[in-house]
Structure 1
Amino acid sequence: MEMFGVVYSIVQDIAADRSMGSLRGDADTCFSYMSSYEFVFTLCLMKEIFEITELLGQALQKKSQDIVNAIRLVSSTKECLQQLRSDDGYEEFITMVVEFCGKHSVEIPNFEEIYIMRGGRARNQPDQLTKEHYFRVELFRATLDTQLFEINRRFNEKVMDLLSTSATLIPRNKFRGFKASDICEMVKKYYPADFTQQDIYGLQLQLKHFVSDASKDEELKNKSTLISLCQCLVETGRHAVFNLVERLLRLLITLPVSTASAERAFSSMKIIKTRLRNKMEDDYLANSLLVNIEGEILETYSYEDVIEDFKKKNRKADL
């Protein structure tokens, strides 16, 4: 928004400069759009939405997402969007748009006038569509409803239930709200194909021992994410004892809001396993994906390290 005045002035100068040739016509068209109330209205709306959703978007880009904070961010983002969508939110928004228009000499329309849609939309234009109704309902509320729909679709009741219940497994939260029976009910409801009835009974027993162990052990009790908790279980060999707990953790960390690694893996697979390389074996594919996804780790290794590691194994020929 701060750059609007600068860009607006530059485009205006280009449109008025006869020496610019064909660029002058493009600049004139661009200037007419930028100087319209609808453009400013849309620009301000985009700014408000981006400011509300920025924290959630940044958090979801992290490889390891703190589930507790993810739940809070989803709830607060939805609440902020709902507040903006309300009548009071719209009045505050319009006040900001009008001030912006006044600052940059953009003409404010008469909202009682009939709004004329252009292009293909004109065929479906409602009768007596005023500019007030268009900007408030067709543009403002429709855009916010789309944003809320997308958030509710991705963070549906099932995902939020899984996140809320699984957050009680994190040791750093001191197992606040933890109930083994609730977790087992969650497993029955959402992972029936991964746990038999006998597994669920064994999981309930393992959870009690796991909580007792994690509450005392220095390595475990400071873990703040499911990924770091799962890694610690493997590194300390506890995954052999708490095998059902580890299985549950692995299922939970595949949720997109828990980690972006799963999405990165599928994106990388399209790049690595092409049509010409579709006979790649699983081990080689896994290694190639690891190199592609965890590129920052490879920066700590040099070519000499790879050569030395290669020489340690029995080879038919020298490298």
Structure 2
Amino acid sequence: MLHFMLKVLVITKELDIVLQKKDQEIVNAMKLVGTTKRQFQMMRDGEWKHLMDDVSSFCVKHDILIPKMDDLYVLPRRLKCKVSTVTYSHHLRVEVFDATIDSQLQELDRCFDTVNNDLLLGIASLSPVNSFANYDKDKIMRLAKYYPNEFGDNKFQELSSKLDDYIVYMRQSDNRFSNLKGLGDLFKALVETKLDLTWPLVYLLLKLTLILLDAGPSVERSFSWVRNIKNEMCKKFNEEFFSDCLVCYAKNDVFESVPDAATINQFHSRTLAENN
């Protein structure tokens, strides 16, 4: 099912790239989460036949044996002690195709739940990139609510008031804040200009946000969710085979120059060696 694995990796590629940029691209990442989920659902609902047609055409072209879909699925060698009770069709469609897509949808829901969405969007709203283009006071205040010990009722109201002055100053009054590249730069600039003393609550929230980005398991899980693809899919596929596929995907510029015939010959050679 190499064709299927590549389709899954292609769907997740853009989201993974954006998430690696962390606070710089959080807003775009949150939009891509919805897009990625829709792509997975569309694949599950309507692309099975197209995928099997592609695989069948590839196998016919390269003289690779295609099992009969109505035959009982032959278990891997290490599981021969168990008796298969499902057909190839059921195994490939239900136990591999549907199950893998479902696991990815569940992982997206788990990593980008309401709490994580609030945290991520709050972080994005603090970002100074493009003259604080993503600033959203409501989202910043929602972020502050997750720190009740630091922002009690009085300080919460004070933060709300100070944010209005803060954003006007940042956008209009000081060029030193106009070309910052991330939250780390903003934190450093506030200290260097001693404006951390002018807006101590904003500075505190920014500091807590940087700690969250560095050590928070929920946010870190959101940023690195795509790693779980390998963990889930390896339950369905041979570990070594999957690792080989990931190498091909990551180094696609190199492997595009490798002729199909060379790949097929290598595959047949390994198959013969294993059988002997």
Match 1:168 to one of 106, 122, 125: 125
Report if the CA contact (8 A) 2:128-2:183 is conserved: no
Contact 2:127–2:134, Cα closer than 8 Å, also in 1: no
TM-score with structure 2 length normalisation? 0.65
- Say yes or no: does 1:134 pair with 2:76: no
TM-align CA RMSD: 3.3
Q: 2:105 corresponds to which letter in structure 1?
A: L
The one-letter code sitting in structure 2 at the alignment partner of 1:97 is V
- CA-CA distance at 1:187 after TM superposition: 1.9
8 Å Cα contact 2:125/2:137 also seen in 1:
no
Change (3 A) 1:239 1:51: same
Match of 2:151 among 195, 214, 224: 195
Report whether the alignment pairs 1:69 with 2:69. Answer: no
- Determine whether 1:147 maps to 2:104: yes
- The AA in structure 2 aligned to 1:150 is E
Are the aligned partners of 2:128 and 2:180 in contact in 1 as well (CA < 8 Å)? yes
Which string of whole-angstrom CA distances, capped at 9 and with x for unpartnered residues, describes residues 226-263 of structure 1? 33333332232211111111221222234459999x97
The runs of 5 or more residues in structure 1 that have no matched partner are 1-40, 264-319
Change in Cα spacing, 1:91 to 1:258, as seen in structure 2 (3 Å) is: farther
Distance 1:68 1:185, change over 3 A: closer
Alignment partners' CA distance in 2, 1:78 and 1:227 = 31
Paired residue for 2:168, among 207, 212, 228?
A: 212
How far did 1:110 drift? 1.8
1:95 aligns with 2:56: no
SS at match of 1:160: helix
SS of equivalent to 1:168: helix
SS of residue in 1 equivalent to 2:163: helix
Decide which of 53, 59, 65 is 1:107's aligned counterpart. Answer: 65
CA distance change for structure 1 residues 180 and 112 in 2, over 3 Å: closer, same or farther? same
Deviation of 1:224 after TM superposition, in Å, equals 5.3
In structure 2, do the counterparts of structure 1 residues 225 and 94 end up closer, same or farther at CA, with 3 Å as the change threshold? farther
Residue deviations 1:195-252 (CA, integer Å, cap 9, x gap): 2222212211211111111221333244453333333322322111111112212222
How far residue 174 of structure 1 moved from its aligned partner, in angstroms, is: 6.4
Shift of 1:113: 2.2
Q: 1:177 to 1:223 in 2, by over 3 A?
A: closer
| Aligned-partner residue type, residue 157 of structure 1 | T
Partner of 2:191: 234
Higher alpha-carbon Rg: 1
The count of corresponding residues between Structure 1 and Structure 2 is 217
* Distance apart, 1:160 and its partner CA: 1.2
Structure 1 residue matching 2:75: 3-state secondary structure: coil
Q: Contact 1:166–1:183 (CA<8 Å) still a contact in 2?
A: yes
1 or 2 for the larger relative contact order (CA 8 Å, sep ≥6)?
Answer: 2
Q: TM-score, normalised by structure 1?
A: 0.58
Task: Report if the CA contact (8 A) 1:65-1:257 is conserved.
Answer: no
1:44 is displaced (CA, Å) by 1.6
One-letter amino acid of the counterpart of residue 130, structure 1: T
* Contact 2:44 2:101 survives alignment (8 Å): yes
The separation in 2 between residues aligned to 1:173 and 1:65, in whole angstroms, is 10
Q: How does 1:1-319 map to 2 (within 5 A)?
A: 41=1, 43-62=2-21, 65-86=24-45, 88-118=46-76, 119-120=78-79, 123=82, 125=84, 127=85, 129-172=86-129, 180-188=137-145, 190-216=146-172, 217-223=174-180, 225-256=182-213
Write the letter of the residue equivalent to 2:162: Q
Amino acid across the alignment from 2:44: R
